[in-house]
Structure 1
């Protein structure tokens, strides 16, 4: 990545992601990022059983995304996709690149409410990290719920505990200072002292941490933006996720402890839920395409049926029982 696009004007941002069996969630996610000003999407998929690929092929035909079938290497689906993404023209031509997943919704709390607007305010930054705020299950059982940000509005406390660390995802400027993209952050191509790395509110990350940092402590930058992380969604949706497997850990399974880690419901935060109308308007416009609407509806049915099947299966019942037992012992 060697393009230097300068420091003025409204930047264009490309989102890079990978998906498997996410058909029920794609449109709300894409339309949210479009509503906050993302210009391009490069989406990799592999081994999908639901209509994910069909939905993305429709969006590709409509010029909304670039859809690629991921050739998965030994490094796993997600890291393989990021490697292939380096060759994508949309990535090479972007002012900024953001790697983010379909269960992560960026909530802009400042500027003009758009990601390009916020990045324009960070004109001296080479990278801007958006810190996770984890949103829990809030007791939602089945997968027939509204858009994720509207269905799940309870989260971990905005203020962290003393010395608590929270992970982030990072938008980085395509200015030659980064060698390659990573799941949480790009990797440096220059010395740390040449890089201005900030949180969303402008807080600078220490130079002595830039080469390997994945999280921050104390200051999270939420006054400017937060990355809402809906790792669980509904109970049935979570069982579907368990069956699908983890994107970043090729051989790892999802255990009960994962649920407890991400089932954070201490505080209500409705800001994104109450400001989701623009995304839904974009969604309705896209759904005028008959093929896209058909595959979107098929995906909803697939996820509801698959979730119910997973819930009543012996494996699903055993997992739910183990989850309750681990909750009691926590």
Structure 2
């Protein structure tokens, strides 16, 4: 089974090896990376990995702001995608945590009955007072999240989607494919959630514009969860803020973004069953001296960026503010204030 992961990156060098190794453990056979404006060795590391046949690396074709959507439009016509059995579109801070068998994508597909698509629900992992960046697996360091069924006072949560080669794709979205219109009943795809259930009809037809990339999370994670490490350490979050968002130029991550994702009320270590296999695969990739040197260069660049930011009074103030804000989302605080309840500090 050929499974191709498609992703966009900008200055993700310190985290590339873990993500590639993890997805190889899951059963991903091919990788299509798009990069833009990298200054931390990300692009050179991908070129070196491409020379060894580990990934395919292309410059992002975007001419405007929307890097991810332009890349996905290009990916749809790439041979690597066209010749795959399944396509997995995800970001480098997203890890597919499969709860069946040995935790591989083929086992998840089988558990869901080999549908045309599987949309897996996010679980946002919090910073949980981890300040310092460390060069070791993200899935080992961060173990706390919000209540998996409720995020930021919402029960509907975002998804990412595994897509079979014969799904009637009109175009790829970052979170889900969009179907061709007016399909006859016998050509409508079978589309499951991470619990093996049919996704809601309005989601699959994109009929509810507010929920074209999410649906209620309760019961949707019985077979798989998408662990999203959007914050990582406080140090890395500041570097991410300086870099901007791969999807859009000049986007700042204010404290609302942090607060929405830093609810650490729930502990979940289930993904750590992958650690022995992950570390072995990382070691195989880093056994190549050039790859190891480029990884070390990316780590050094990450730390140098933080050092530069800590000489900026605005970033010093942001760091202090993020350490002091409540670990409860702005939406939930507003709700508590509305009903007259005390807001936790």
- Same-fold call, TM cutoff 0.5: yes
- Which of 191, 194, 203 aligns to 2:197? It is 203
User: How many angstroms does 1:163 deviate by?
Assistant: 5.9
User: How many angstroms does 1:251 deviate by?
Assistant: 4.4
Question: What's the counterpart of residue 239 of structure 2?
Answer: 240
Matches within 5 A, 1:24-39: 24-39=14-29
User: How many angstroms does 1:186 deviate by?
Assistant: 0.7
User: How many angstroms does 1:44 deviate by?
Assistant: 0.4
- Which of 163, 171, 194 aligns to 2:162? It is 171
TM-score (norm. length: structure 1): 0.91
Matches within 5 A, 1:100-139: 100-139=90-129
Structure 2: distance between partners of 1:218 and 1:70 = 33
Can you list the C-alpha shifts for 1:161-208, whole angstroms capped at 9, x where unaligned? 786111000111110511221110111124475122111221111223
Question: What's the counterpart of residue 88 of structure 1?
Answer: 78
Question: What's the counterpart of residue 282 of structure 2?
Answer: 283
1:180 aligns with 2:171: yes
SS at match of 1:179: strand
Structure 2: distance between partners of 1:246 and 1:215 = 21
Can you list the C-alpha shifts for 1:265-291, whole angstroms capped at 9, x where unaligned? 111111212431111111111112111
Question: What's the counterpart of residue 297 of structure 2?
Answer: 298
Question: What's the counterpart of residue 12 of structure 2?
Answer: 22
Matches within 5 A, 1:47-58: 47-58=37-48
User: How many angstroms does 1:118 deviate by?
Assistant: 1.1
User: How many angstroms does 1:250 deviate by?
Assistant: 3.4
Structure 2: distance between partners of 1:238 and 1:39 = 30
For the 8 Å contact 2:203–2:213, the answer to whether it is kept is no
Structure 1: distance between partners of 2:49 and 2:13 = 12
1:45 aligns with 2:31: no
User: How many angstroms does 1:26 deviate by?
Assistant: 0.3
For the 8 Å contact 2:200–2:215, the answer to whether it is kept is no
Higher mean C-alpha deviation, range 37-46 or range 314-323? 314-323
Q: Which runs of 5+ in 2 are unaligned?
A: 207-211, 334-345
Question: What's the counterpart of residue 249 of structure 1?
Answer: 248
User: How many angstroms does 1:325 deviate by?
Assistant: 6.6
Structure 2: distance between partners of 1:76 and 1:250 = 8
Higher mean C-alpha deviation, range 67-76 or range 224-233? 67-76
1:258 aligns with 2:257: yes
User: How many angstroms does 1:79 deviate by?
Assistant: 1.1
SS at match of 1:25: helix
User: How many angstroms does 1:326 deviate by?
Assistant: 5.4
Question: What's the counterpart of residue 339 of structure 2?
Answer: none
For the 8 Å contact 2:203–2:215, the answer to whether it is kept is no
For the 8 Å contact 1:41–1:65, the answer to whether it is kept is yes
Counting matched residue pairs gives: 320
Higher mean C-alpha deviation, range 111-120 or range 130-139? 111-120
Structure 2: distance between partners of 1:293 and 1:325 = 37
SS at match of 1:254: coil
TM-score (norm. length: structure 2): 0.87
Structure 2: distance between partners of 1:144 and 1:124 = 39
Q: Which runs of 5+ in 1 are unaligned?
A: 1-10
For the 8 Å contact 1:177–1:190, the answer to whether it is kept is no
Question: What's the counterpart of residue 3 of structure 1?
Answer: none
1:21–1:199 distance in 2 versus 1, CA, 3 Å: same
Structure 1: distance between partners of 2:27 and 2:253 = 34
For the 8 Å contact 1:28–1:147, the answer to whether it is kept is yes
